[in-house]
Amino acid sequence: AEEKPDYQRADVAERLERSAEFRALTDQVERKLGKRLTTPDVAVLLGLTDYLGLPADVVYLLVCHCVERVRRRSGEGRRPGMKQIEKEGYAWARLGIDTQAAAAEYLRKYAQRQDLLPRYMRALGLGDRFPSPSEEKYLLSWQEMGFPPETVAIACDKTILKCHELKWAYCNGILRRWHEAGLHTEAEIRAGDRPAARPGPAAAAADVQDVAWMKKYIDQRDKGV
């Protein structure tokens, strides 16, 4: 991709003067963030619309999403910075979220995943606190792989037995191996982790007889019998 333009004050002023839609977006974002946007702030919005090609209505939904995410994580009164909004905008562009319909579908699925996070935290024995950003990345990736909280609890138990504490990277390694093996539910994990049954005395005796018969067959063949 071409390098992002270095938008200057003149670029921002020109776009604000020429585009009523961009002026409206700037006003809406200022109200949502509860502050007056600086020239670098407006330049971020210009990059989202001009460089990434996101429509103004999608950018506004993006800003609202970032505001709500920070509010849930940090409490009322906290607002995202423009760099956070820009970073999320690049993520949306990579995902192809460039229409209201696509944004609405993404936000619907995002809300569903967020609603499940407390169950995963409790499964890990971490209570009802909200996960940190790094913890949230692990939890969302485990959801994407198809692991319910019950399976994550099993991986957590194995991690603590091995490490004597919850180590996220180690727990993630267990879950990734199960995912690669196609094991996701509690029943599948229990069955997949069960050691193979050892042959009983009768089966072992039959194996010995088979080996003896084979040796006798080979000896007779070599002798031409």
**Residue owning tokens 């879950």:** 175
Q: What is the pLDDT of residue 93?
A: 96
Classified by CATH at the fold level, domain 115-200 comes out as: Arc Repressor Mutant, subunit A (1.10.10)
Residue 122: count other Cβ atoms within 10 Å of its Cβ: 13
Among 152, 82, 163, 76, which Cα is nearest to 118's? 152
- Residue 211 reports pLDDT greater than 80: no
Q: What is the pLDDT of residues 74-131, one digit of tens each?
A: 888 889 999 999 999 999 999 999 999 999 999 999 999 999 999 999 999 999 888 9
Phi, psi (degrees; rounded to nearest 5) at 215: -60, -40
Is there a contact between 19 and 27 (Cβ–Cβ < 8 Å)?
no
Give the global pTM: 0.71
Rounded Cα distance, 175 and 200, in Å: 33
What lies within 8 Å, CB to CB, of 8 at 6+ separation is 43
Q: Residue 215: which pLDDT band, with cuts at 50, 70 and 90?
A: very low
Q: What is the pLDDT of residues 129-153, one digit of tens each?
A: 889 889 999 999 999 999 999 999 9
Share of the chain above pLDDT 70, in %: 84
Q: Residue 196: which pLDDT band, with cuts at 50, 70 and 90?
A: very low
- The tokens of 210 are what? 């088979």
- The domain segmentation of the chain, as residue ranges, is 1-98, 115-200
- Residue 218 reports pLDDT greater than 50: no
